[in-house]
Amino acid sequence: MKKIIVLLFLTMCYSTFFAQDKLTEELKSLAENNRYGQIVKDYTQHTNDYPAKALYYIGLAYYMTEDDNNALKYIDRSIEKDASDATPYYIKGCILNYMKKYTDAVTNFEKAITLDAINPKVYSALGDSFYSQQQYANALDAYRKATAQQEPDSRAYYMIAKIYSETGDKQNTLKAFYKAKENISPETSLYANVLYNIGLMEFLNENMDKAELAFIDLIQVSPEDYQAYAKLTQVYYHQREYEKAQPYKDAIYKAHEAGKLKGTNLQDMFCFDQFLWNNKFVQAFERYESGKKDDIYNKHLFYLTNDKGDIECRIQTEYSPISDSLGSSKYLLGMNKNGVHSTFNIGFDDDFAYDNLKNTVVNILEGKIQPTTSLVPSQK
């Protein structure tokens, strides 16, 4: 009789374990296929006897459907049933990061690391906790450990470069971005971000050949990144290789005509050149508006900015309906400075030489060319 009772007990235990394993496998499969909504809908009614791993998958499903409170509840229950699994601690840390409870997140990530010291994602998430608290030294240490694992977390390479950038370490920033380029898949948006930053830094360092390569690579992996087209145009204008720039300008115009630039900072105009004058930045923009119109419009705009980024003045080519109708120059130069609008008796057509326009702008900035008329607001 005792043997029969023991046998029945073992059979019941085996059936329970089998059912629990089957449940966990079902939840695992649903999670791996991103069917988190189905988990929440179909598996959260009677969970008292669920094993730790099943509770973890339910907590994960709530996290992925942005129900953080329920996510924490189920993750905590999972940990209560099995405190030896690193994964629930990791997910709990991620939830707390999302809730901006960074100190508590650090505690959970550190616990996860004691249980699984080779998971790069945990180190990377720990780095995020420190980064969000501006504890950059600790963040760097965590991100470096994420890159030191056998299967490094590629995003950590980017975050290392980002920290160097935000702390003003330009030399290490560029090195770190190149390192990130070597370790991030070209299939990801993060890779495009890295290329853009490399191109921008090389441009600012006036290493135009390297900037050109970075922006060309960026356009190849992200053909609709029109900011890269504009930056590559600036590279060629800096080198006075205007013919090389033209195809990229044409591509920007086509994107505008197709409505692809709406809602972006390129929707009205794009920067095609920038240069220094008197230790101040001048940025040259070109607007898409063109052709004969009844009203005046600006076509090319040169913004002079100070070291704080404030605009000191703007010089622009202005479409003149009267001049154009008389067969004279299509555009006349104008300037806006300190609330005064000035015009100059200098004209340009669409086939103008850019060097001539740029030199004229510089001469105006230097006071070598005086306006023919000026209008202050009170005279309007």
- Note whether 220 and 313 are same-domain residues: no
Q: Would 13 be classed as within a structural domain?
A: no
End residue of a domain, out of 267, 298, 314: 267
Q: Which domain holds residue 327?
A: 270-380
- Note whether 204 and 257 are same-domain residues: yes
- Note whether 239 and 259 are same-domain residues: yes
| Pairwise CA distance, residues 129 & 126, whole Å | 5
Full strand arrangement of the beta sheet holding 280-287: 269-277, 280-287, 298-305, 311-319, 331-337, 340-348, 373-375
CATH number (domain holding residue 193): 1.25.40.10
What number of CA atoms fall less than 13 Å from residue 166's CA on the CB side? 14
| Pairwise CA distance, residues 182 & 6, whole Å | 61
End residue of a domain, out of 243, 267, 291: 267
The number of distinct structural domains making up the chain is 2
| Pairwise CA distance, residues 328 & 345, whole Å | 12
Q: Would 225 be classed as within a structural domain?
A: yes
Q: Would 206 be classed as within a structural domain?
A: yes
Q: Would 205 be classed as within a structural domain?
A: yes
Residue of 215, 268, 270, 265 whose CA lies nearest to 239: 215
- Note whether 198 and 243 are same-domain residues: yes
Q: Would 55 be classed as within a structural domain?
A: no
- Note whether 368 and 277 are same-domain residues: yes
Q: Would 371 be classed as within a structural domain?
A: yes
Per-residue pLDDT of the chain (380 residues; tens, 9 = 90+): 433 322 223 233 233 334 458 889 999 999 999 999 999 999 999 899 999 999 999 999 999 999 999 999 999 999 999 999 999 999 999 999 999 999 999 999 999 999 999 999 999 999 999 999 999 999 999 999 999 999 999 999 999 999 999 999 999 999 999 999 999 999 999 999 999 999 999 999 999 999 999 999 999 999 999 999 999 999 999 999 999 999 999 999 999 999 999 999 999 999 999 999 999 999 999 999 999 999 999 999 999 999 888 999 999 999 999 998 888 999 999 999 999 999 999 999 999 999 999 999 999 999 999 999 998 865 44
- Note whether 260 and 339 are same-domain residues: no
Q: Would 363 be classed as within a structural domain?
A: yes
- Note whether 222 and 303 are same-domain residues: no
Q: Would 3 be classed as within a structural domain?
A: no
Cβ 340 vs Cβ 328: under 8 Å: no
Contacts of 66 (CB under 8 A, 6+ apart): none
**Does an H or E element contain 305, and which?**
strand 298-305
- Note whether 250 and 282 are same-domain residues: no
End residue of a domain, out of 267, 300, 321: 267
